[in-house]
Structure 1
Amino acid sequence: MAIVPLAKVTLYGPAAEKEAVLEGLQRLGCLHLVDLHPGAARGPDAARAGQRAREALQYLEDSPVRRREPERPAAVDVEGLVREALEVRDRAHALAEEREQLRARAAELEPWGDFELAGWARDGALRFSFHVVPLYNLALLAAVDAPWRIVGRDHRFAYVVVVAPEPPPGMPGAPVALDPRSLSTVRARLEHVERELEELDYRRIGLTLHASALRAALDAADDRAAREQAARATLERDEVLAVQGWAPRDRVAALRQYATDRRLAITVAEPGLGEAPPTLLANPPALRGGEALVNFYRTPGYHMWDPSKAVFLSFVAFFGMILSDAAYGAVLGLGTLLAWRRLGRAAGGARGLLAALAISSVVYGVLVGSYFGWVPPRGSLLAKAHLLDAEDQGVMMLISIGIGVAHLSAANLTSAWRRRRSLAALAPLGWTVVLLAGFWVGVARAHPGAVRLGLGGVGLGLALVLLFSSEHPVSFAPRALVSRLLEGLKGITEVSKVFGDVLSYLRLFALGLAAIKLAEAFNSLAASSFALRGVGILLGIVVLVAGHAINLAMGILGGVVHGLRLNVIEFFNWSLPVEGEPYRAFTRKAA
């Protein structure tokens, strides 16, 4: 099992040494603290402390250009740094919005020329009104009973100025409101704004020199806030302090040594009946991506099982079937290689997961014979590896449903193993029999004898569900038997759920075929463009690159969403009924 066994550790000492005791435990970083004051009012969370400082740090770290930070950051005025960084950010945001508005105003004014209206032209008896008239309506200007002039023209519109007390009737095009400033004034302000934005960029780059100092200050503040939160979780009675938490068994020795060094009393106990310790998962680095996938949706209970390996393998397989193209898998693998070093610094095993997804996509793409939507020519080595026809609806639906049956059967067998010391284990075994027998009926539907055998298996499985869905001990008392049968009937109502869950795996076939067909459609469009020669060749290249980029992005999105869905909804519903609390060590952030 990858769920780390924990022990309940309680330390006792003088209340006067609380701060020092908590600081030492924080340095050890191996204790998930238990709140000994449940329901008491809580103080501010460490995550909310220093929000402005976090915003400032994020702003500096997001800078496209950063100065090289010194190995030993010098002392810095953190409050002043935060204040200046946020001032630069807010001013830059305001100027960026003004720049976009000025660009729009300049584009609106440019067809009319560079002028600034006098007051009488805006508010006098004879006012200037400005109209954008489509070229096909120019003939209507002859009927306008007011002085007008065309001051500009492009391939679609004529820009007409009319002098009248009010816009004259019959004038084509409603009047438009122009910026009262002249075009040259708007351009001058735009140039000033762009210069100021450049200066703010330089200031931001300069401030990145102190990002590490700000980060260190934030970590220290988080550590202080975490100790304050931990202090509220401790118990003090008669000048005696009690600190309790869950620790991995292999760290108990370190805690005993710490208690000896600090002259503290310590007790260590195994989890008792009814207790629900937090869940700490530990998987090999290559499979740690499965752990991240599991925790993304639900943390398994401490007394459950760790589905990380199963989710890793099934998610990788499902992703490859949904992407359904060897070349797309190769592109994903190339991207993983290019980001290999950076991914190695990321938590959660992203590097191993992405590599596995690329390999799975390439392997399945070779099996269905799709390479950017092209099929390898007959007789080639790649054609010999083309073993599956993605367009064979009968075979591909059978494969998808078979995968669903196997996946859900594994979930129920896991549930049965977990309950192996109880007759209630026979209920998930019954569902496993129902799944396998129902699939057998579908496969052998042309053979009446085999169908009868399969239907008998379905009946046997449902009987096990009816008789053993109850968690209560077996009793032959009439009331107990009636209660057991009622619970069994309630369990049998999930037959529609298991049927729907199995059919949900058809998305593997449908999404994979859609990806292949979409790739073929882009290839066909590009081929039609190439036939035009000249500009058609350039257009065909654009269609190929953009089309396959869109298809790859959609395939990755579909592979992640639907691959996760089949695990965290269908699989977890049958194998992981209880959610646990994630293990959070009371540890330091600051170095």
Structure 2
Amino acid sequence: MIEPMKKVTLLAGASWEDEILNALRETGIFHIRLPENAGAPDVTIKKDVTVENRLGNNMLLIQEALGLIPQAVKAKPCKGDEDGIVLARELCSKTKEAFSLEAQIQELEKAYEDQKIWGQFDPHDIEQLKDHSIFIRLFKARKKELGQLPADIARVVIHTRGAMAYFAVVTCHEPLCPIPFHEISMPEQSLSHLARMLEQKREALETIQKRILELYGAAPYMARSLNECKALLAYENARNAMVRRGDIIYLQGYCPTCFTGKLKERADIEKWGIVIENPGPEETVPSLVRYSKLTHLFRPVMAFIGVLPGYREYDANGPFLFFFTLFFAMIIGDAGYGVMILAATFFHAKRSAAPHKDLIPLLYLLSLSTMVWGALTGSWFGVEALRNFPLFKAMIIPSMDTFSDTSQPFIIHLCFLIGAVQLSFAHCRRILNTFPHIRFLAETGWFFLIWAIYFIVRVLVLNQPFSPLGYYCLIAALCLIICFGQQKEDGFFKGLARSVVRLPLDIITWIGNLSDLVSYVRLFAVGMSTKEVAVAFNNMAFNIGFDTLPAMFSAVLVLLGGHSVNLLLGAMAILVHGIRLNVLEFSKHLNIEWSGVPYDPFREPEP
């Protein structure tokens, strides 16, 4: 559920600015609201943009430095007063310098390898020979082409590599005669000079890399400085939200209803004035989602998506969890894969330092649901022979048998039925939200429209006869939506006229609802593709055979690699399709726009 909020206004003397902020930071329950239309510019406490910019830049610098430190590096604990900002700046600087040196070393190594062909000589000496009318040029050509050189041109073959020859041409006149081979520019540095430069760069890089490794251990100091910057920036933002009216300052914000008593007690102790009221209908109120023990399972998925319902929107975590679990089972669709996920989750949970511990309960639920669905459809790693085991065969529902062609219409029908149930549940919630306003009848019409569309889809996709119940649902939907969809407080007939005018737009919405329901067929399509890919890899392995050791080894590799890839593709399909049906289609019918602002109380930053 979304925690109810109260709008709170705190008033105190103008000289109590720091005392108010320090006390609020200690309580850690007050979400500060930025002032809107506070009045003339001089009524708001002066904003120190320089401090904010400096703190923001320091935070970006530290975050960049922490991003350079590998996760595997074990950092020492903070035992001194070293400045994490200085250390972060040095780490970023040294890292950029190391990258620059590595690029220079690569260029020098390439130049050294290219020049090594010509041996050791000083290009300066070549330049001096020009004063004595001796001109040396460097070329490369195929060995068999060397005979094409004129006889009066002196050449010296310096190096050969495969079919290529690298040679120098010596002439005693200018302008230089054209030679029909690829000419190589004369090096600017000698080979020994390049070697010395390489050695110097490598030594400098080694020194910098040692310092970078030392700075990796300073991560706790950087993290501490980052928290200090966050605390200072939060303090500045809170101070900037205060508004001055003469000798009085006030600060507005929001507090969960369950914490208002605690805030009133603190206000009494600090001698503040306090006003607690309900938020206005147009105010942007922060959302604090309270998870139950069951819906808490779905929290990692919502955190991954990064969406939050608005304060006045419906918290759909419960329905999301139920339908997402069902979608996951249908998309993966194989009991063997469910066993693999269950085993991987079990061994992952046994690790004492296993990351993402909050995912473990959800993965258990998803793996078990996949095993149940796979057992009911008779799919075990896509191997048809496994389904014939007595225990596995006893669990199969014949109309859902994935290896039976006659089961496909039933599964498609089941997908449409699941979609109709989910979307109609959304309209049931909207009926409850609008009751007792007369518009709840229009929401009832949309509920009936979903089921009318369900019967229409059965005709269009499955060639089933149109049910008489569908006629009743369609007539009820049209009457209720047209008669009550635009009703306000200005009379029934004006509302009816607005509905008639809006009818073309409503027709587009009806078509959209048809598309939403049809989109649930993706559960069948993706689940079927998962099964077919598994069968394809199984056939490849069986065609290779298990007669000889090399064949067995190859077949096992095909099975392990193929099923791993298939499971990975299934996981990607969950992200694309399973989440989409909840966050887009279902949420649209619930009228959830995910416009929520997270509840972020003014408090000390977490370490």
**CA separation of 1:161/1:320 partners in 2, compared to 1, >3 Å: closer, same or farther?**
farther
Q: Is the contact between residue 294 and residue 307 of structure 1 (CA under 8 Å) also seen in structure 2?
A: no
Give the direction of change, closer, same or farther, for the CA distance of 1:69–1:525 in structure 2 (3 Å limit): farther
TM-score normalised to structure 2 length: 0.81
Instruction: After TM superposition, list the pairs within 5 Å mapping 1:102-121 onto structure 2.
Output: 115=119, 119=123
Q: 1:427, 1:181 → 2: CA distance?
A: 85
| Whole-Å separation in 2 of the counterparts to 1:499 and 1:144 | 79
Query: Cα distance 1:480–1:496, how it changes in 2: closer, same or farther (>3 A)?
Result: closer
Aligned equivalent of 2:216: 208
Are residue 389 (structure 1) and residue 410 (structure 2) matched?
Answer: no
Of 577-586 and 506-515, deviating more is 577-586
Post-superposition offset of 1:232:
1.0
- Counterpart of 1:310 in 2: which secondary structure? helix
Residue 355 of structure 1 corresponds to 364
2:570 — aligned with what?
555
1:265 counterpart = 2:265: no
Are 1:317 and 2:326 matched, yes or no? Answer: yes
Q: Which runs of 5+ in 2 are unaligned?
A: 170-175
Displacement after TM superposition at 1:240 (Å): 1.3
Q: How large is the RMSD of aligned CA atoms in angstroms?
A: 3.9
**Quick one: structure 1 residues 526 and 313, their matched pair in 2 at CA, closer, same or farther if it must change by over 3 Å?**
same
Q: Per the alignment, do residues 337 and 491 of structure 1 end up closer, same or farther by CA in structure 2, a change over 3 Å counting?
A: same
Q: Which amino acid aligns with 1:10?
A: T
Where does 1:41-120 land on structure 2 (aligned, <5 Å)? Answer: 43=49, 44=52, 49-60=58-69, 62-69=70-77, 73-97=79-103, 115=119, 119=123
Distance 2:601 2:253 in 1: 9
Write the letter of the residue equivalent to 1:558: A
Q: Contact 2:138–2:185 at 8 Å: present in 1 too? A: no
Counterpart check, 1:369 vs 2:384: no
Contact 1:466 1:491 in 2 (8 A): no
Match of 2:485 in 1: 469
Note if contact 1:333-1:355 (Cα within 8 Å) is conserved in structure 2.
yes
CA distance in 2, matches of 1:548, 1:192: 52
Distance change in 2, residues 1:87/1:562 (3 Å): same
Contact 2:120/2:192 (<8 A) preserved: no
Alignment of 1:492-571 (within 5 A): 492-530=507-545, 533=548, 535-571=550-586
C-alpha displacement of 1:499? 0.9
1:404-460: CA deviation from partner (whole Å, max 9, x where unpaired): 111111112112211122222222322221222343455588886x62332232222
Structure 1 residue aligned with 2:234? 226
Q: 1:299 to 1:236 in 2, by over 3 A?
A: same
| Alignment correspondent of 1:243 | 251
Q: Given the two structures, how large is their TM-score scaled by the length of structure 1?
A: 0.83
* Contact map agreement 2:5 2:257 (CA 8 A) in 1: yes
Equivalent positions of 1:316-335 (< 5 A) are 316-335=325-344
AA aligned to 2:9 is T
- Secondary structure of 1:11's match? strand
Query: By how many angstroms is 1:166 displaced?
Result: 9.2
Per the TM alignment, residue 150 of structure 1 is displaced from its structure 2 partner at its CA by 8.6
User: 1:403, CA displacement in angstroms?
Assistant: 1.6
Of the three residues 291, 299, 303, the one matched with 2:312 is 303
Deviations 1:228-269 (A, max 9, x none): 111111111122121111111111121112112212121211
Q: Is the 1:49–1:225 contact (alpha carbons within 8 Å) kept by the matching residues of 2?
A: no
Pick closer, same or farther for the CA change 1:329–1:38 going to 2, 3 Å: farther
Q: Distance in 2 between matches of 1:332 and 1:354?
A: 7
Residue by residue over 1:169-213, the C-alpha shift from the partner in whole angstroms, topping out at 9 and shown as x without a partner, is: 6x8xx8899998899998997787677666545433432333222
Alpha-carbon distance between aligned partners in 1 of 2:322 and 2:19, rounded to the nearest angstrom: 46
CA distance in 1, matches of 2:605, 2:161: 65
Is the 2:26–2:603 contact (alpha carbons within 8 Å) kept by the matching residues of 1? yes
Structure 1, unaligned runs of 5 or more? none
Q: Deviations over 1:286-338 (max 9, x none)?
A: 52353454563543222221111111222222122222233333333344344
Equivalents in 1 of 2:190, 2:523: separation in Å? 61
Q: 1:224 to 1:182 in 2, by over 3 A?
A: same
- Residue in structure 2 matching 1:379, options 384, 389, 411: 389
> Which residue is equivalent to 1:428?
443
| Separation of aligned partners in 2, 1:330 and 1:100 | 50
Q: Call closer, same or farther: CA 1:189–1:308 in 2, change over 3 Å.
A: farther
Distance 1:144 1:56 in 2: 60
* Closer, same or farther: CA 271–86 of 1 in aligned 2, 3 Å: same
Structure 1 position 282, deviation (Å) = 0.7
After superposition, what is the alpha-carbon deviation per residue over 1:384-409, rounded to whole angstroms, capped at 9, x for unaligned?
Answer: 33433336431221122222111111
Q: How many percent of aligned residue pairs carry the same amino acid?
A: 24
Letter paired with 2:232: R
1:307 partner letter: A
SS in 1 for 2:160: strand
Q: Which SS does the other structure have where 1:494 is aligned?
A: helix
Distance verdict in 2 for CA 1:374–1:215, change over 3 Å: same
Q: For the residues of structure 2 that align with 1:518 and 1:194, how far apart are their CA atoms? A: 51
Contact 1:219–1:589 (Cα < 8 Å) also in 2: yes
Q: Deviations over 1:342-376 (max 9, x none)?
A: 798759x4343333333333333333333443331
Distance 1:13 1:337 in 2: 56
Q: CA deviation at 1:223?
A: 0.8
Larger mean CA deviation between 188-197 and 426-435 belongs to 188-197
Counterpart secondary structure, 2:274: strand
Give 3-state SS (helix, strand or coil) of 1:584's partner.
coil
Which residue type is aligned with residue 522 of structure 1? F
Q: Measure, in 1, the Cα distance between the counterparts of 2:482 and 2:186.
A: 78
* TM-superposed deviation, 1:556: 1.0
User: In structure 2, do the counterparts of structure 1 residues 221 and 526 end up closer, same or farther at CA, with 3 Å as the change threshold?
Assistant: same
User: Residue 415 of structure 2 contacts residue 520 of structure 2 at CA under 8 Å; is this kept in 1?
Assistant: yes
Report if the CA contact (8 A) 2:118-2:158 is conserved: no
Instruction: Provide the rounded CA distance (Å) in 1 between the counterparts of 2:59 and 2:294.
Output: 36
What's 1:29 paired with?
A: 28
- The separation in 2 between residues aligned to 1:544 and 1:200, in whole angstroms, is 47
Give secondary structure in 2 for the equivalent of 1:423.
coil
Match of 2:172 in 1: none
Aligned partner of 1:218: which letter? Answer: L
Paired residues of 2:482 and 2:496 also in contact (CA < 8 A): no
Q: Which amino acid aligns with 1:433?
A: F
CA positional deviation for 1:104: 7.1
Distance 2:450 2:270 in 1: 59
Give 1:265's aligned amino acid: G
**Contact 2:426-2:589 at 8 Å conserved across structures:** yes
| Structure 2 residue aligned with 1:582 | 598
Instruction: Write the letter of the residue equivalent to 2:274.
Output: I
CA distance change for structure 1 residues 413 and 141 in 2, over 3 Å: closer, same or farther?
farther
Equivalences for residues 437-448 of structure 1 within 5 A:
437-440=452-455
Match for residue 455 of structure 1?
471
Asked whether the 8 Å contact 1:468–1:488 carries over to 2, the reply is no
Q: What residue in structure 1 maps to residue 173 of structure 2?
A: none
In structure 2, the CA distance between the partners of 1:507 and 1:465, relative to structure 1 (3 Å rule), is same
